[in-house]
Amino acid sequence: MSVVDAVITELRAEIARGAWRVGERIPPEGRLAESLGVSRLSVREAVRVLVHSDC
């Protein structure tokens, strides 16, 4: 599994747990990257994939 795939998995899990309400902004890239231990670029790509996904 790539780093981006791992971030996608974690963000989906956070969404499923209700970490963020519908319409609420997610934390900034830097904060997500720091909390997940990955680069901002990995977070940016994961968010891009999720925005364009059907689920």
Segments forming the whole domain that contains residue 9: 3-51
| Type of residue found at 23 | G
DSSP state of 53: S
Task: Please give the pLDDT value at position 50.
Answer: 92
Scan for tokens 């901002």, then name that residue: 40
pTM of the full structure: 0.87
- Distance separating alpha carbons of residues 20 and 1, to the nearest angstrom: 25
Task: Please give the pLDDT value at position 40.
Answer: 97
pLDDT, tens digit only, all 55 positions of the chain:
999 999 999 999 999 999 998 888 999 999 999 999 999 999 999 999 999 987 6
Task: Please give the pLDDT value at position 21.
Answer: 87
Question: Shortest CA distance to 46 belongs to which of 22, 34, 32?
Answer: 32
Q: CATH number for the domain including 40?
A: 1.10.10.10
Scan for tokens 């963020």, then name that residue: 20
Please state the domain count of the chain: 1
- Distance separating alpha carbons of residues 38 and 54, to the nearest angstrom: 25
